[in-house]
Amino acid sequence: MKKFLIVGLGNIGEKYQNTRHNIGFKIVDAFVKEHQESFETDKLGDIAKLKIKGKTVVVLKPSTYMNLSGKAVVYWMKKENIKVENLLVITDDLNIDFGKLRIKGKGSSGGHNGLKDIQDKFNTGAYPRFRFGVGANYGKGRQVDFVLGNWSKEEESAMIERIPTSVNAVTSFINAGLANTMNEFNGK
């Protein structure tokens, strides 16, 4: 039986709940809800386990804060004996226009501290990732304020469509594989 680990990156705590940096949490919350499951607090994060077409899917929201996400990812991959090709890390990306999706099988951290920590723990950038574009609508030196800032009203409105599309991309990764998911969802 195939096992998958779907990781939504974000920061724990109410003050970060509706920030751009927490889009990974928002997407996995919607994914788990769609499958009528819920999260339980466990070691290094909140975990949900579900079955999709005979596959076991472990969904993780690390409680280690963004910059230390690798510790939780490595722990749950080892604990659940999940292969790296069955891992999908979901995160925000400043270098992609708001709402656009980019799914890849490998790559650099792109300056993202959560991906950088995972890459450091794995000693490679060869693992699947799903980047949700948050755009770069900020002034010089304001990057941190932007990603840790709340969504604008316009962005909130657009999320009504973007979140279900993102959930469909995660489901596609599990059912149809990385290549098919990239072909169908990249740039959407």
Which residue out of 21, 61, 102, 116 is catalytically annotated?
A: 21
Q: Which residue(s) pair with 98 in the sheet? A: none
Q: What residue has token string 């990732």?
A: 129
Locus of tokens 């993202």 = 112
Asked if residues 130 and 103 have their Cβ atoms less than 8 Å apart, the reply is: yes
Separation of alpha carbons 52 and 57, rounded Å: 7
Q: Is 21 a catalytic residue?
A: yes
Cβ(52)–Cβ(59) below 8 Å = no
Contacts of 153 (CB under 8 A, 6+ apart): none
Please name the residues in contact with 139: beta carbons below 8 A apart, sequence gap of 6 or more. none
The answer to whether 28 and 37 are in contact (CB under 8 A) is: no
Give the residue numbers annotated as catalytic, written as ranges: 21
